[in-house]
Structure 1
């Protein structure tokens, strides 16, 4: 058993260090490990596990939410949300920083994509903040970290992936559980922005008339309704989480093509192709990870890890701290989806043994891995932010460090105060 585990671990990390795509690393290391078992039909097992792994009704929501996110990104929603946020908080000292964070939270929530929030919101906000003396590097750091909050505020594809891997976990409960933690992370980042700019000569907008606030809110309402339609339909039983994803596509298309008129018919093939590419990557990851999960279960790795960690300490506080540190390290070199797929089967038995709610652990895991989206060498949001802001990672890291600290503070609160995640689902008996 130990030989197979060593083959799995070393082949996976060797391929990862060779810059092989993560899905291929997972698939090849799984094939090598199964082949080392001896008289086992390797090809059959891998093909069977991959096909059954993606044959899941909840996973059908992912391509639809991806498509609705692309439609939202191209349909002018970011600019309208930014105008609304600017009208509400832009007049305060350092107001553009709060506008940036709030817009990223709103757009990341309605689009379900952190990278889309960085590119869409950053394209508007980073040049404007630089023009008003915030500094380009600070603006990129703020946009990059703020965008990750959209993965906690529903709808969120990564929560669907976690629900499928964890099993018997309600997607609706996860969606509701992420609302308060997402807002908490955003507020922590805003506090850092306030402290960073309280003595700086940054631009302050004039007081916005009530009529402008009302008008900007009216223009933003159709975009904000996406969250209410999706969550309202799920919670009232009108449609399931999977059906909600199809509704979100129809609504996003109506907004972008008919109301805002920024999505043209000639854009549809390009949008569909972009969505298909993203979906294909996710599905390959899911399939390959399900095959790896079979190997882990066959070798009883989750049980071994659970016994080892509980052997180190029976204290839930210490165990959660160890898991958080491990996930923070994992997040620096592995993207969020494969990390959830690989480490959920390993860590979930540990925390459930301690009596932790799987919904709470799901939010903890997503919050933790959101930090990894902003860290090199794999930080997707960091690379997108540096590209949009035309700067380098080395220059962005320094202003980003206090924001990392704020996100870790929020992570610790989410980890050790379960009601931040579980209170809202409990109100709806989920």
Structure 2
């Protein structure tokens, strides 16, 4: 590559601006405009790509709607009722509260689609419950909250999968289905690790919930438990598109919290709208920047050039997937997941297609890699979120999270080398890939 070429200089500009503290989305827009200026192209193309990309992709609307659904769920009493229900299921075992943390992440995964929303929404409550009376150390409670939150975007719905569908044209519905088995496998391995650690460290056994109280707890949690059933049922029955289902999820969360549980004040409602808008704008600017930069990458023919290079290496599909896993795991240590999805992943897609790798399988492998990046140092966004919630040092959280990260990498290996673990359920529902 010519280091003085417009493309090389635009990459330098993006990198410098990002290191100076400019948001990565704005850095990409500025770097792309710089490229257009140096190459003598019409700089208005940046605005054209920005507008066409944002307004012609209906699927992008699902992102702010899932964010809004998560906020409505968090400000109501849905969280407390669901945690009580999870406690009924697994609270009576040794390390029961730790197992509750995993189960609540599985249930919340069917609602928010965001690891950060899961950790921020229930993280503080689980932290308080687990550390009350010194039952668990703050660092272990924080580490567990971080690694269980990763399950959220793997089990549907999933904001990262929506973004992957945007850049790959893969079916969102089948991507959602493909994430169910890997997500449950990851959750199961986490529960096994908790059981092992509970015996070694003699974690406390919680007082079992009296049998007479179980029907009442279940009944009070039922409206919240029906949310993922309604959401996924509407998608897979064909009643709604995934974007329309996201709107339905937000409306349902608001109605249940406001009129059934009667636990939302006007101030909380306004705060939920404000937080959702702020989060959505942040994601939207990143998507917009990636759309403009991807135009530059396409003009430079980078994906095709990389496809030719990798094909020339005579890689098998399995070798290519191992290569992608290594690259994404390393990038996940230093880059934000959405940026990887929007900038790096599109470059790999042509090669994956040329090697005959199913794009739904590839998408799940990519998303699991990106979720791992959320709990791996030095970037590890979830690590910093739970550190702020718990007050525990990040190094202690990383130490306690290490065994769970090992099992997550093991799960990544399973879905990489055994594609049927990912594609079995979509094929059962009619997927032809």
Question: Does the 8 Å CA contact 2:317/2:357 hold for their aligned counterparts?
Answer: no
CA shift at 1:132, angstroms? 5.0
Partner of 2:307: 306
Q: Give the whole-Å Cα distance in 2 for the aligned partners of 1:16 and 1:266.
A: 35
Q: Give the whole-Å Cα distance in 2 for the aligned partners of 1:162 and 1:137.
A: 33
Question: Does the 8 Å CA contact 2:109/2:157 hold for their aligned counterparts?
Answer: no
Partner of 2:51: 51
Alpha carbons of 1:15 and 1:286: their partners in 2 closer, same or farther (altered >3 Å)? Answer: same
CA shift at 1:251, angstroms? 0.4
Partner of 1:6: 8
CA shift at 1:206, angstroms? 3.2
Partner of 1:36: 38
Partner of 1:252: 253
Residues 9-408 of structure 1 aligned to structure 2 (within 5 Å): 9-37=11-39, 39-42=40-43, 44-55=44-55, 56-130=57-131, 131-167=133-169, 169-408=170-409
Alpha carbons of 1:423 and 1:211: their partners in 2 closer, same or farther (altered >3 Å)? Answer: farther
Alignment root-mean-square deviation, CA: 1.7
CA shift at 1:68, angstroms? 0.9
Question: Does the 8 Å CA contact 1:112/1:150 hold for their aligned counterparts?
Answer: yes
CA shift at 1:15, angstroms? 2.7
Q: Give the whole-Å Cα distance in 2 for the aligned partners of 1:313 and 1:402.
A: 35
Q: For structure 2, which runs of at least 5 residues remain unmatched after alignment?
A: none
SS in 2 for 1:378: coil
Q: Deviations over 1:272-298 (max 9, x none)?
A: 111111111111111110111111111
Question: Does the 8 Å CA contact 2:111/2:249 hold for their aligned counterparts?
Answer: no
Q: Give the whole-Å Cα distance in 2 for the aligned partners of 1:33 and 1:402.
A: 45
SS in 2 for 1:183: helix
TM-score normalised by structure 1 residue count: 0.95
Question: Does the 8 Å CA contact 2:59/2:243 hold for their aligned counterparts?
Answer: yes
Q: Give the whole-Å Cα distance in 2 for the aligned partners of 1:46 and 1:58.
A: 21
TM-score normalised by structure 2 residue count: 0.94
Q: For structure 1, which runs of at least 5 residues remain unmatched after alignment?
A: none
Question: Does the 8 Å CA contact 1:108/1:148 hold for their aligned counterparts?
Answer: no
Question: Does the 8 Å CA contact 2:113/2:158 hold for their aligned counterparts?
Answer: yes
Q: Give the whole-Å Cα distance in 2 for the aligned partners of 1:166 and 1:416.
A: 21
Question: Does the 8 Å CA contact 1:110/1:223 hold for their aligned counterparts?
Answer: no
CA shift at 1:375, angstroms? 2.8
Alpha carbons of 1:114 and 1:244: their partners in 2 closer, same or farther (altered >3 Å)? Answer: same
Question: Does the 8 Å CA contact 1:313/1:319 hold for their aligned counterparts?
Answer: no
